[in-house]
A and B are shown apart, each in its own frame.
Chain A
């Protein structure tokens, strides 16, 4: 009898919180693209004699996030030191949380492939400081072959919320769904940009495989999965690997493995770092943190409409398909843009189409966040409303859209520049255009007039020329009627 294998996956996700200053000092958290070791001070460099001072804004972000994932908030929390040596860790300990994290025992509901909803448990959300970054002097920037390494401490002390899930995920697809949900959530909360590629959201996975014959393999921890795609591939690979070993009756080595995206495999990382005893003990430089009465309630009152609630509202109120709503509500700014357009008079369905195609295309092409999309919602709404009312064709509107994007002119100016006339091209103007086309295509015209266009292909060809020439501003029915009249059919 064949053995079945079911994966058991839990994720540890580090979310970089986007506060202006670091967790324990006033330095800027802006470390991407800044000159190395410029956003540093004696405190985040861990110079002798310095002391941490907790950033209250970080606590707000952490409590809001913990509330959004339905955690119980600990009114009294404290920080611990996690001791280990590494050159990117200035104090040789990381200030983290241990026994009293900000939040515990929460959950997130995700949509599974079969369309049902599944509840994924959250064990805890705790705060900790990020470390600096090592830059290795090897040609490819990697450790292997490097003769020296540099450390940039700009990232040291940047606040992180670590969110630990229960081992409730049973496939790479579910893991992807969970991470997407969490990413969406932190964006809705405005506490992080949740960008895995930039490292503002980092996912480590604990994974094991359960066999239908009752055996349960040891778990491994997978690191270095730097995108959703990488995570899916990494987990799938690891499931395959572990199942293969178990199938042959082998045992899984409990270890940390690194996902190698280029090779598409996980590799054991047998470094000395693994043998850590972190010697956690309460951080004596920070008194316990007691959240004042009413603090949690106050934070709860600042929570935005949760994405899952927004989704069901969009489906209900705008009669949009679930799949489309998922795209629009993925990003809170995109969902805001949608709602602003609709309240600005644009039809929900067309707005949904435009946002999913034109707007997202521009955002991907230009690699900009939604918040930096150059058209205001009112302009977009006006343009879509012009299509809605039949005054401008969809094709013409796209041209106007491009014109505004390229030149930044007003919508009225763009309409003029694109020679788009509200109401379209018809009557004698349309007739003149058709006549010109017929004159330029005499052989085609002759074929049709000779009755040899049996399948109507030549007629469609002429039709297409007219529509292109009028840039879609003509009513196809009028074009068709006028064409057959002028062809004498």
Chain B
């Protein structure tokens, strides 16, 4: 079998074929590792490769299958995990010098879930340091490149996972999304990315950026795989008090019954206030048309506070939490530890050498907004705005079933283009971060291409616990547009 035929496969079909014995776990794992070996020198989507562990695990799963065991719904599916999710004994760096050699003694809940479902982890993906960024350029391990155009960024912060799925390394990768870090790279890489409702998937073992906003989610090239991933990942977890204890539906099963007649889709009209390339509006219109033809009713919805004040609130709350979450990297217990003569210089030298500039910027911002005398003006005000945004969304969802807007104000930009302009970089999250502030589920799917042939994502937002709603609509769209293709710079028969 040619390499290509593996790499186009969905996670669901890999699992089906492995369960039916069409090919072995080692077959696909070897093929994926080979392609990663060929391509990752260019893309730099992975920080850590675990070829040997992956092959051992493949052999282990094969033995289990041979003895009649069913490894689970992700039987033999090769996956890649963002490098901010703890993997026992596998280096987990957050793309930071401060954790460059850190090997966690424990597995995150999602890694446990993937393995219990039969998946094979091939490596850890590149990202913006501590998930702070929208381009995967802020990495201590060098920038990741977009397989659609290797001169361009894949988005971020989960750019490595998005690039890996878009390039055909694996059918499924995990990312984390604090202000758009799954949806924006999914958009820039032309694939599917889902940020679930806050509390749907356990954060235990996810190295925190902003605890009240972080959520783990999947990247795939089709909707069925998103549902499959949710079935595996979305479970209550006693180790995460913010993870909901409510029962989750069978996302795969419910997908098949999705019908759009009578469904109401709200178009968030404020996105038109932003200067966007015309192709972005066109891709939104294209998606709306498909939904309309499938029976959905489209109406305009206004989120005035959300679309004007969300960004400001986000860039207070997220850095505030980050400044506290990242304080533990002090060189005392683990990670980078600078040579120093006294305690204060140990702290100063370690953190100076260990953190990159963007992380430092956010720690400074966060420390400032929490400081006495400024707390009320910044942090408290931002929390009030957050409440208003949450209410605005809730009101909208009392009238419509889902909301539509672009995922990103821009297609993939050039490496280096925005890296020295933090405000422009922060703007990349303007359509995605309100969804985190409100704790809602958001999905990005491809809605078309720019004049240069770069993918353009459209974002679908659901009400709290409304994953099924947006998955079902995305499914309808996929039936029309087909699954996401492997990027031109990705795996081909030749490589």
Contact = CB atoms under 8 A, between A and B. Distances in A.
Interface of A: 42, 45-54, 81, 83, 85, 87, 90-93, 151, 272, 277, 279-281, 284-287
Interface in B266-320: 320
B321 interface: yes
Contacts of B203: 51
A46 B320 contact: no
Interface in B81-127: 84-86, 92, 94, 99, 102, 104-106, 108
Given A49-B206, A287-B241, A92 B85 contact: no
Which secondary structure dominates where chain A touches chain B? loop
Contacts of B372: 277, 279
Contact of A281 (B86, B239, B324): B324
Contact of A87 (B106, B343, B367, B379): B343
Given A85-B330, A87-B332, A279-B372, 15 more contacts: A45-B333, A48-B92, A49-B86, A49-B108, A50-B205, A83-B327, A85-B327, A91-B327, A92-B330, A151-B332, A151-B333, A279-B370, A284-B212, A284-B242, A285-B241
B384 interface: no
Interface string B224-243: 00000000000000111110
A45 B324 CA distance: 16
15 contacts: A47-B105, A48-B94, A49-B108, A49-B204, A49-B206, A49-B207, A49-B208, A50-B205, A51-B204, A54-B241, A81-B324, A277-B372, A280-B370, A285-B208, A285-B211
Given A81-B324, A281-B324, A51 B330 contact: no
A47 B105 CA distance: 9
Given A47-B104, A47-B106, A51-B240, A90 B328 contact: yes
B371 interface: yes
A92 B330 CA distance: 8
B104 A48 contact: yes
Contact of A53 (B205, B238, B320, B327): B238
Interface in B3-38: none
B344 interface: yes
A53 B243 CA distance: 11
- Please give me the 10 A-B residue pairs with the lowest Cβ-Cβ distance, nearest first: A92-B327, A284-B212, A284-B211, A279-B370, A48-B207, A49-B205, A49-B86, A49-B207, A87-B332, A92-B328
Given A49-B208, A51-B240, A83 B324 contact: yes
Contacts of A45: 333
B60 interface: no
A237 B258 CA distance: 78
B106 A272 contact: no
Interface in B355-406: 367, 370-372, 375, 379
Given A92-B327, A284-B211, A286-B241, A47 B334 contact: yes
Contact of B241 (A52, A92, A279, A280): A52
Nearest to A281: B370
Contacts of A87: 330, 332, 343
Contacts of A91: 327-328
A203 B19 CA distance: 65
A50 B104 CA distance: 11
Contacts of B370: 83, 279-281
Interface string B191-223: 000000000000111111011100000000000
A175 B24 CA distance: 75
Interface residues of B, number: 44
A52 B205 CA distance: 12
Nearest to A272: B344
A489 to B, nearest CB: 86
B331 to A, nearest CB: 10
A300 B196 CA distance: 42
Q: Which of A52, A87, A93, A279 has the most CB of B within 10 A?
A: A279
Contacts of B347: 85
A52 B321 CA distance: 15
Nearest to A93: B324
A47 B335 CA distance: 10
A385 to B, nearest CB: 54
Contacts of B106: 42, 47
B405 to A, nearest CB: 26
Q: Which of B238, B323, B328, B371 has the most CB of A within 10 A?
A: B328
A90 B108 CA distance: 19
Contacts of A83: 323-324, 327, 370
Q: Which of A45, A50, A81 has the most CB of B within 10 A?
A: A50
B375 to A, nearest CB: 8
A91 B327 CA distance: 7
Contacts of B327: 83, 85, 91-93
A48 B86 contact: yes
Nearest to A91: B328
A362 to B, nearest CB: 45
Contacts of A48: 86, 92, 94, 99, 102, 104, 207-208, 328
Contacts of A53: 238-241
Contacts of A52: 241
A284 B92 CA distance: 23
Contacts of A280: 370
A138 B170 CA distance: 56
Nearest to A54: B241
Contacts of A281: 320-321, 324, 370, 375, 379
A87 B206 CA distance: 23
A91 B333 CA distance: 10
B138 to A, nearest CB: 18
A90 B334 CA distance: 11
Contacts of A286: 241-242
A54 B242 CA distance: 11
A287 B210 CA distance: 15
Given A47-B106, A48-B86, A272-B344, A287 B207 contact: no
B378 to A, nearest CB: 11
A54 B334 CA distance: 25
Contacts of A285: 208, 211, 241-242
A94 to B, nearest CB: 11
Contact of B242 (A85, A151, A287): A287
B197 to A, nearest CB: 15
Nearest to B204: A51
A279 B242 contact: no
Contacts of B334: 47
A90 B343 CA distance: 15
Contacts of B104: 42, 47-49
Contact of B105 (A42, A90, A151): A42
Nearest to B243: A51
Contacts of B210: 284
Contacts of A85: 327, 330, 347
Contacts of A93: 324, 327
Contacts of B206: 49
Contacts of A50: 204-205
A90 B332 CA distance: 9
A51 B327 CA distance: 15
A138 to B, nearest CB: 15
Nearest to B373: A277
A277 B206 CA distance: 28
A205 to B, nearest CB: 24
Contacts of B375: 279, 281
B167 to A, nearest CB: 27
B333 A90 contact: yes
Nearest to B372: A277
A52 B332 CA distance: 21
